[in-house]
């Protein structure tokens, strides 16, 4: 059967042969690929085609004729609606295998490398792990709600709890929501570009239990501002900071440029590997502190520092990896494009009495070539780029500078594979890839690998 003979609303019985990178089941109808959310490999499903394209289509599950031994009942009551998690119906040990297989497939397909992909490093308790909640607010049935968007839409789901969030974040968001509702604050309408309250964000320190509340508004002023601040302080447990960010633009970008402290501290304090980190409202900080400890230990192990090395940390954020490296390196140079993050990194270095670190604001692909021109050369280079991977100019500098070892931390296996191929072509030898489950119940996977210069080239 060809795509021309398939049509929307047709029903078919199919076998699920795989899961794709989005967690959807993959089925074949006489060679034509169909993707179906909510099904698992090995299951037999009755489906309805909801979209038929030239090369592949999408289906909706009607019922299962055969279920997988790895299927489990999702504990979240809004799992079938919410777009935050994709894998709650898959047993956790099978989630770890799925992520290992996804990374292995990408290494072969994109990197064209036959490198070992190790078993995924998982969690003992794969729920309640997130230290940051960032949720939009809106009206649902004339009620002010704060929750996540429904799958493939901007419709907010009315929810009281999220099982991958810390309980403190859940409580902080819902208490804040109820107070704003009490005072009649109008949520932001992105179509009309009207209203006051856009997002509520909470951050909790797993080390201290203290909480930061960030409110993102369209304007600096909003009704009953002083009364709301006072009631938030009195009502939310362990609240040490209330921050307001103003975003006046018609955009789906969450943060605007202006941030001010309304009450309490400017920073939250957390601890990784015995190092105290101050975290401001807009700082990038890993959201899973339990797995971050494991991730950073892997980075240290793969860096193989003896205390004599110069280390570059590209995309250094608030200096969390940099300072862990500085405990074992001669000197660490960190670069980050966000100036507020560099300010936090400098403060973190000062607070922890590090004197062997240097931080600079700018794009890694611009700053690191300048360091190299100044004859500052890395023995070890650590990269932890955004999902788009390393900039081409940075990769060119790595191949020119030839640090002995490149430790690559990645949140996107596809761009990791692409960059590994470039570095291998330039004379590096790829090592094993270690997946780390930073985001249980979702399809996301973090990876750590090391590439070493091939001295024979």
What integer is the mean pLDDT of 12-33? 95
In contact, 417 and 110? CB cutoff 8 Å = yes
**pLDDT value of residue 377:** 94
| Strand ordering across the sheet containing 258-264 | 143-146, 132-140, 197-204, 211-217, 239-246, 258-264
Q: Report whether pLDDT(158) > 90.
A: no
Residue 411 annotated among the catalytic residues of the structure: yes
Task: Write out pLDDT tens, residues 300-327.
Answer: 999 999 999 999 999 999 999 999 999 9
Nearest to 450 by CA among 426, 434, 430: 430
Looking at the DSSP assignment, which residues form a beta bridge with residue 64? 45
What mean pLDDT comes out for the span 88-110? 97
CA dist list (Å): 442 to 83, 201, 287, 344, 422: 10, 20, 14, 30, 29
Residue 159: which pLDDT band, with cuts at 50, 70 and 90?
confident
Residues 365-412 pLDDT 10s: 999 999 999 999 999 999 999 999 999 999 999 999 999 999 999 999
Where b means 16+ CB within 10 Å and e means fewer, 303-313 reads bebeeebbbbb
Taking only the tens place, the pLDDT of each residue in 160-183 is 899 999 999 999 999 999 999 999
Provide the b/e sequence for 200-218 (b: ≥16 CB within 10 Å): bbbbbbbeeebbbbbbbbb
- What is the per-residue pLDDT for 117? 98
What is the CB-side half-sphere exposure of residue 387 using CA atoms within 13 A? 2
pLDDT computed for residue 1 by the predictor:
52
Q: Which pLDDT does position 292 carry in this prediction? A: 97
- Which residue of the set 76, 82, 316, 411 is catalytic? 411
Residue 457 has pLDDT above 70, yes or no: no
All structural domains of the chain: 3-66 (2.40.50.140), 100-123+288-453 (3.40.50.150), 132-272 (2.40.50.1070)
């Amino acid at each position: 059967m060809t795509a021309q003979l398939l049509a929307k609303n047709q029903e078919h019985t199919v076998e699920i042969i795989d899961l794709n990178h989005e967690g959807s089941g993959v089925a074949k109808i006489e060679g034509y690929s169909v993707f179906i959310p909510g099904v698992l490999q090995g299951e037999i499903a009755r489906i309805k085609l909801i979209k038929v394209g030239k090369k592949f289509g999408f289906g909706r599950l009607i019922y299962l004729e055969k279920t997988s031994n790895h299927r489990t009942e999702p504990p979240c009551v809004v799992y079938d609606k919410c777009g935050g998690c994709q894998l709650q119906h898959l047993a956790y040990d099978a989630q770890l295998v799925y992520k290992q297989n996804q990374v292995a497939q990408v290494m072969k397909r994109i990197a064209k490398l036959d490198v070992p992909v190790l078993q995924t490093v998982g969690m003992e308790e794969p729920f309640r792990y997130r230290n940051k909640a960032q949720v939009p607010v809106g009206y649902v049935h004339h009620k002010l709600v704060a929750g996540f968007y429904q799958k493939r839409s901007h419709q907010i789901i009315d929810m009281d709890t999220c099982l991958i969030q810390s309980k403190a974040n859940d409580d902080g968001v819902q208490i804040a929501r109820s107070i704003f509702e009490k005072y009649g604050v109008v949520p932001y309408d992105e179509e009309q570009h009207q209203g006051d309250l856009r997002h509520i964000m909470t951050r909790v320190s797993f080390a201290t239990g203290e909480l930061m509340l960030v409110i993102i508004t369209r304007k600096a002023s909003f009704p009953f501002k002083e009364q709301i601040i006072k009631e938030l302080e009195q009502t939310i447990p362990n609240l040490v900071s209330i921050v307001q960010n103003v975003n006046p633009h018609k955009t789906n970008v969450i943060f605007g440029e202006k941030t001010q402290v309304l009450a309490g501290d400017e920073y939250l304090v957390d601890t990784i590997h015995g190092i105290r980190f101050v975290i401001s409202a807009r700082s990038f900080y890993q959201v899973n502190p339990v797995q971050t400890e494991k991730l950073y230990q892997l980075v240290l192990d793969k860096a193989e520092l003896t205390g004599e090395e110069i280390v570059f940390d590209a995309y250094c954020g608030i200096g969390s990896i940099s300072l862990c490296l500085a405990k074992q390196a001669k000197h660490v140079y960190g670069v980050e494009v966000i100036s507020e993050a560099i300010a936090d990194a400098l403060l973190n270095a000062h607070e922890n009495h590090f004197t062997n670190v240097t931080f600079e604001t700018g794009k890694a692909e611009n700053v690191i070539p300048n360091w190299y021109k100044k004859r500052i050369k890395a023995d070890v280079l650590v990269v932890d780029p955004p999902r788009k991977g390393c900039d081409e100019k940075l990769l060119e500098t790595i191949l020119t500078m030839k640090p002995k070892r490149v430790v690559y931390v990645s949140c996107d296996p596809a761009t990791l594979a692409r960059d590994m191929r470039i570095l291998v072509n330039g004379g590096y030898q790829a090592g094993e890839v270690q997946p780390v489950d930073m985001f249980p119940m979702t399809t996301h996977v973090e990876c750590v690998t090391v590439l070493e210069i091939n001295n024979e080239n």
